[in-house]
Amino acid sequence: MSEETPAPLWEVFIRSKRGLAHNHVGSLHAPDAEMALRNARDVYTRRMEGVSIWVVPSAMITASSPDEKDSFFDPAADKPYRHPTFYSIPKEVQQL
Amino acid sequence: MTLGVAGAAAVYTLRAADDCLVLSHRLAQWSSWAPTLEDDIALTNIALDLLGQARGLYARTAELDATGRSEDDYAFLRDEREFVNCLLVEQENGDFATTTVRQLLCSTFQLALWQSLTTSTDEQLAAIAAKAVTETTYHRDHATDWTLRLGDGTAESHERMEAALATLWPYTAELFESDAVSQEASILGVGPDPESLHPEWHGYVTRVLGDATLVVPQSTWKPSGGRQGLHTEPFGYMLAEMQHLHRSFPGVTW
């Protein structure tokens, strides 16, 4: 825990209730997975935010590059037909 | 002599309440000083759990001793000699190892106490205990985890844990002292005589210490007196800090 060698960084995902997906809520430092989970519980679920926690080493995440933003995302901008807007969603469906 | 509190059940409840409040304040003193941000929050979370437990127990004490005192009256307007917490909870934080050992010793005791209190004939105490069991289970897990890591960690962390154990172990004898109050409470079915909690406490603590490659100290010195209001020197300083705002500005809120 010395300042010279900070513990590895972990990304924290929390499921707020059963049936929903885990959402990314932030990150924290911990020496191993067990303590990362414990720290996540202490840091991110103090106000009953969740019923399930995932922790993932930040180094294991492969991210898209901001430089590739145009080629990655712009092609989808003018293709409205990919949105399922012609279906009516029943009122009872809260989360889709 | 405990002042202004009549009846074994009231004194018995007050002892448990004072243990919670004092340990809570000691942990709150770590706020912004813990080794990492994550543990800063963990320790203050635990402090808040303990404060909540203390509040429930003070409210029940006020009914049992029929003084109608408020939680603030108990926390801020009693002097050192009127506090009946054990000496272990008031011991200074020291380094993180000392706090870890104190947490292991205290939370293991408290968990055994809450588990037993869930069957109290006093329904309010049973309800407070039932809620506290889940909280204190986590407190003990947290302390156990750090004890294993630090005891079986580096040469320095091991050395610090041994030093902390040597300092704090003598104060554990007082936790299990039986006296007229605890015997009466036990007979009334209010709560267990602390003596009866020792086997479970000792079994758990020695197993964790063994796994953490730490040796249980052999100590013949058994300081005592907390339950009678006779405290160690650092406690007065802690109380002064804890109480000064409320005493300087009576009834202050913010």
CB B93 within 8 A of CB B29: yes
Q: Report the alpha-carbon distance of residue B200 to residue B205 in Å, rounded.
A: 9
ipTM (interface pTM):
0.74
Contact list, B42 vs chain A (CB under 8 Å)? 38-39, 42
Is residue A91 a part of any domain in this protein?
A: no
pLDDT at res. A80: 78
> How many structural domains comprise chain A?
1
Is residue A47 a part of any domain in this protein?
A: yes
Residue A7 has a CB neighbour count (10 Å cut-off) of 17
- With 60 as the cut, is the pLDDT of residue A2 above it? no
Nearest to B34 by CA among B121, B97, B77, B82: B97
pLDDT at res. A94: 77
Question: Interhelix angle for B155-168 vs B123-151, to 10°?
Answer: 140
CB B227 within 8 A of CB B15: yes
Q: How close A11 comes to chain B (CA, Å)? A: 14
Structure tokens at A43: 């840091």
pLDDT at res. A74: 83
CB A44 within 8 A of CB A12: yes
Contact list, B141 vs chain A (CB under 8 Å)? 38
> In chain B, whose CA is at the least distance from the CA of A28?
B38
SS (H, E, C) B72-93: HHHHHCCCHHHCCCCHHHHCCC
For the domain spanning B8-217+225-248, the CATH number is 1.20.1260.10
Here the CATH number for the domain that contains residue A28 is 3.10.20.520
**B31 at the A interface (CB within 8 A)?**
no
Contact list, B45 vs chain A (CB under 8 Å)? 42, 46
Decide if A34 and B145 are in contact by the 8 Å CB cutoff.
yes
Residue in this structure with the two tokens 């054990």, named with its chain if needed: B86
pLDDT at res. A3: 54
CB B132 within 8 A of CB B20: no
B171 backbone dihedrals φ, ψ, rounded to 5°: -75, -10
Give the full edge-to-edge strand order of the sheet including A52-57. A23-29, A9-15, A52-57
Decide if B38 and A39 are in contact by the 8 Å CB cutoff.
yes
Cα distances (Å, whole numbers) of residue B72 to B23, B59, B78, B185: 17, 10, 9, 25
Is residue A96 a part of any domain in this protein?
A: no
Would you write out chain B's pLDDT as a tens digit for each of its 254 residues? 443 345 899 999 999 999 999 999 999 999 999 989 999 999 999 999 999 999 999 999 999 999 999 999 999 999 999 999 999 999 999 999 999 999 999 999 999 999 999 999 999 999 999 999 999 999 999 999 999 999 999 999 999 999 999 999 999 999 999 999 999 999 999 999 999 999 999 999 999 999 999 999 988 899 999 999 999 999 999 999 999 999 999 888 87
Contact list, A29 vs chain B (CB under 8 Å)? 36-38
A-B Cβ pairs (cutoff 8 Å, strict): 29
Residue type, A34: E
Distance of CA B116 to the CA centre of its chain: 16
Return the residue in A29, A43, A49 with the most chain B beta carbons within 10 A, the one to mutate for interface testing: A43
Q: Report the alpha-carbon distance of residue B95 to residue B162 in Å, rounded.
A: 12
> In chain B, whose CA is at the least distance from the CA of A36?
B38
Q: Which domain holds residue A62?
A: 9-82
Residue in this structure with the two tokens 């294993």, named with its chain if needed: B148
- With vertex at residue B233, the alpha carbon angle to CA B230 and CA B238, rounded to the nearest 5 degrees, is 100
Cα distances (Å, whole numbers) of residue B112 to B42, B131, B136, B143, B194: 22, 14, 10, 15, 9
CA torsion through residues B243, B244, B247, B249, sign = negative
Q: Report the alpha-carbon distance of residue B112 to residue B136 in Å, rounded.
A: 10
**B45 at the A interface (CB within 8 A)?**
yes
